[in-house]
Chain A
Amino acid sequence: MTWSRESKLNGFLVLLSVMAAWELVSRTEMLNPLFFPPMSKILRSFFSLVFSGEILAQILSSMRRAAAGYLLAALVCIPLGIIMGLFNSVYRALEVVIETARPLPPPVVVPVAMLFFGLGDGMKVFVIFFSCLWPILLNTMDGVRNIDRVLIHTARTFGLSQGRAILKVILPAASPQIMTGLRISLAITLILVVISEMVGSSDGIGYFILDSQRRLKVDQMYAGMLSLALLGYLLNQLFLLFSNTFLSWHRGMLRSDK
């Protein structure tokens, strides 16, 4: 194997040097070790949190909320988006309401949800649901609108009823764009679960990170962030795996167009 100037190895070397430098400035107290505990301590804290199962418990409660809000949004928005894409009159009727609610930054929904649902899971699920609505809804609608008329005619000439045409033709034809919406919403879900746990919660990974900071367990705070990054990475990879198997035809088609 030859070493090239642009090798990925560079990146790892840089990462290692940053970690070493961090360790050094912390140990020599060039930077306040209260804010920058030695890297070794952070990593030790990370592993002990992982092996004690504590971080897993926090992540699990976060994931439960995230999954509920996200799946609920998908369950509502994909059918509604299809209907809006098929029937312009439905879209027109909902347009003003959607355009009024959409510019609202999702975090400000947290206080409202707290009023109605208290500090429990319901509040977080609602907030995540609300913030995931738009990308899924609008991408689904767009995807359906962009389906070629010939495809719809094909379904009809084979005698498909409207319901079966939606399942067998419209849904698969719009699936690449639906997947885009789902993917954007996945990123939003993770952001909102952390926000809602920071603002009103007594568990979950977002709460854990903020709480560690407040109690000045700074190594735990960094360890929590590290596990959150890993979680984000894992979820993203999982989604990619899912969409690659599901949409392998679409990737192939895009490649063959080039």
Chain B
Amino acid sequence: MSLSNHERGSEVKSSGRFNFSGLALFAALLLLWEFSSRFTPAIQPYFPPASRVIHSLFQPSLARELFGHLLDTLGRFLGGYFLAAAMAVSLGIILGYFRFAYSLLEVVIELLRPMPSVAIIPVAILLLGIGNSMMVAVTVYACAWPILINTIDGVRNIDRTLIDTGRTFGLGRWKILRRIALPAAAPYIVTGLRISLSIALILVTTSEMVVGGSGLGFFILDEERSLHTSNMYAGIVVVALLGYALNRLFIAVETKAMAWHRGLTARGML
């Protein structure tokens, strides 16, 4: 199932003030973790003390290994995400603008859309084996949905007068798509891109778990199976940091890009 524009979640706005109670609770939980594990050796195999996880995070050999997996995951993520963005935005603009094109694909879209996208993984394994191309392919497939649906929505919601303005300036169809439809639908497209960000990470880590070999998803599952649990938790910390960093990066780029978009539409309309 993909999410359309109306279903975007709420974004938490951090107040930026120093949050004493928040940090205190966080620290308390860390301490609780540390000591509950330390004083009950029976659970240590599943639940090693926090200090041990942090310690293993800074082991040079493990850090190097983790870094390698991180690069693999990141490469698949970037490949899948950007391919999906390029394809879905182009297709979405065409389908949003030309009703006829949409009518052709409507039934296929409505048939495939409700299927949870991870179910495509077995097909991809069958067709592409268990290499990078398969992982990138499933990521592209899954990420494309929110971007596609939102782009179609965005183009459909463009004010007719904006397009007519383009016409009166003698712009051809393709120029209208590029110069008017694309920037005018940008806010919707950005929503799709934001949703796809977390979906991409879900698909990359899942396919790494299912087919194995390399990547953070594989690493975490593998360490769990061999009961190196402090390594597993270290891997999870790295994934969380990756997710966090990608999110911040997205917000930073979005802020910049939407300023650019405002400038462009202003010029386009004059």
Is there any pair of Cβ atoms, one from A and one from B, under 8 angstroms apart in the complex? yes
Interface residues of A (CB under 8 A from B): 5-8, 10-12, 14-15, 18, 35, 89, 92-101, 103-108, 110-112, 114-116, 134-135, 138-139, 141-142, 177, 180-181, 183-184, 186-187, 190-191, 194-195, 198-199, 206, 209-210, 212-214, 218, 221-222, 224-225, 228-233, 235-236
Given contacts A92-B22, A103-B244, A191-B117, contact A210 B122 (CB under 8 A): yes
Q: How far is the CA of A196 from the CA of B29 in the complex (A)?
A: 27
Partner of B210, one of A10, A89, A210: A210
Which residue of the partner chain, among B1, B216, B229, contacts A232 with CB atoms under 8 Å?
B1
With A93-B22, A95-B14, A190-B116 as contacts: A184 and B7 at CB distance below 8 Å = yes
Q: List 12 A-B contacts (CB under 8 A).
A: A14-B108, A95-B12, A108-B205, A110-B221, A112-B236, A115-B229, A139-B9, A191-B202, A194-B119, A213-B122, A228-B119, A236-B1
Are B22 and A95 in touch, CB under 8 angstroms? yes
Q: Give every chain A residue within 8 A of B106 (Cβ-Cβ).
A: 8, 10-11
* Complex CA distance for A214 and B106, rounded to whole angstroms: 32
CB-CB < 8 A to A231: which residues of B?
114
Q: Which residues of B contact A222 (CB under 8 A)?
A: 123
Known: A105-B201, A108-B216, A210-B210. A221 touches B122 (CB 8 A): yes
Query: Given the complex of chains A and B, what is the CA–CA distance between A229 and B246 in angstroms?
Result: 30
Knowing A6-B99, A15-B111, A108-B217 touch, does A198 contact B210 (C-beta < 8 A)?
yes
With A8-B103, A112-B236 given, can you name 16 additional A-B contacts, CB distance below 8 Å?
A5-B100, A10-B104, A11-B105, A11-B110, A96-B22, A101-B240, A108-B239, A112-B232, A181-B9, A184-B7, A187-B2, A194-B118, A199-B221, A210-B210, A213-B126, A232-B1
Tally of contact residues, B, Cβ under 8 A: 68
